[in-house]
Structure 1
């Protein structure tokens, strides 16, 4: 089970024109916004990656605005762990479990999640907050990640799991995000 004291969120490369052309991009952005807002309500550590922003463009404006005051961590390798800044941020977060969302599922998300697992972190891929240009590539990545021990969750499932109790002070805020 996810717990607030041991869970963080990693947002991977939802940026530029690519964010507009991935499979079901509007739903991806809507779901990711709810996930980010929920993580903020629950005070989870949030890390934000951008792949080669000079070439691919910045993070989608709505997502970037939701992530403020955090700053993106720039990377040039597909795996976030190619960035020492990202590796340090993961270690300094103090959490052992990560929710991961972003694009593209079969490239940057897959490689970053694989490294997290290799380093001993528990990972849950938020399946309605990831995408690729094709559904087949998204499904391929999810199948391969689950075979390697990655958990699969959805935005609503993970937020309610983290809240845990309808009497929680954050419950109403989470409920508003899901409705």
Structure 2
């Protein structure tokens, strides 16, 4: 495969799902219909990650002030939680250590806000030579203009812009995958 094509493909091996800062006091600031869509998309990805045996790293920005991850997305058994104070997840050594433990090369990136913590994490991940797949229907900002700017800048930074369904079908690769029916059912429930 060419380098560009290889970067666009998601493979199970070396891929980690990162859920950025979907927290109790931040989530209510998002437009309600957008928040509902984003939470459903992230929940679908977390559930599929469990089926596909993908690691999940969840971050919380200053949880003493912003609260914990919302209950609907609380890290499960396969998840790791990293608390941080820097906007970029990469500013927290425990986050970089978690990526290294999972031998990650690709990051499936979701969360909020798209133009702050998600975008700064994306920039730093690219600087650390990770392929970043930004899931555009599983990120949000308070304002649509900030969301759109984050997508534009993410593309310019070399991230792959994707969706929940594109990502999941890439990870499955074909309908013969043992997890196909279960993952398809998750997609239909969205």
Unaligned runs of 5+ in 2: 1-8
Unaligned runs of 5+ in 1: none
Q: CA RMSD in A?
A: 0.9
Residue 71 of structure 1: how far off its partner (Å): 4.0
Does residue 1:173 correspond to 2:182, yes or no? Answer: yes
Paired position in structure 1 for 2:72: 62
Q: Matched residues in 2 for 1:104 and 1:177: separation?
A: 25
Residue 35 of structure 1: how far off its partner (Å): 0.9
Paired position in structure 2 for 1:93: 102
Q: Matched residues in 1 for 2:130 and 2:165: separation?
A: 22
- Per-residue CA deviations over 1:48-105 (Å, capped at 9, x if unaligned) read 10000000011110100xx212342100010111211111111221121110000000
Residue 20 of structure 1: how far off its partner (Å): 2.2
Residue 16 of structure 1: how far off its partner (Å): 1.4
Q: Matched residues in 2 for 1:71 and 1:100: separation?
A: 15
Does residue 1:33 correspond to 2:43, yes or no? Answer: yes
Does residue 1:11 correspond to 2:19, yes or no? Answer: yes
Correspondence list, 1:65-84, <5 A: 67-69=75-77, 70-84=79-93
CA contact (8 A) 2:56 2:80 kept: no
Give me the TM-score of the superposition, normalised by structure 2.
Answer: 0.90
Paired position in structure 2 for 1:139: 148
Give me the TM-score of the superposition, normalised by structure 1.
Answer: 0.96
Q: Matched residues in 2 for 1:168 and 1:13: separation?
A: 32
SS in 1 for 2:49: helix
CA contact (8 A) 2:111 2:138 kept: yes
- Per-residue CA deviations over 1:126-166 (Å, capped at 9, x if unaligned) read 00000001111111011001011000110011001100111
Q: Matched residues in 2 for 1:58 and 1:95: separation?
A: 25
Does residue 1:50 correspond to 2:54, yes or no? Answer: no
Paired position in structure 2 for 1:157: 166
SS in 2 for 1:4: coil
User: Runs of at least 4 residues of structure 1 off by over 3 A?
Assistant: none
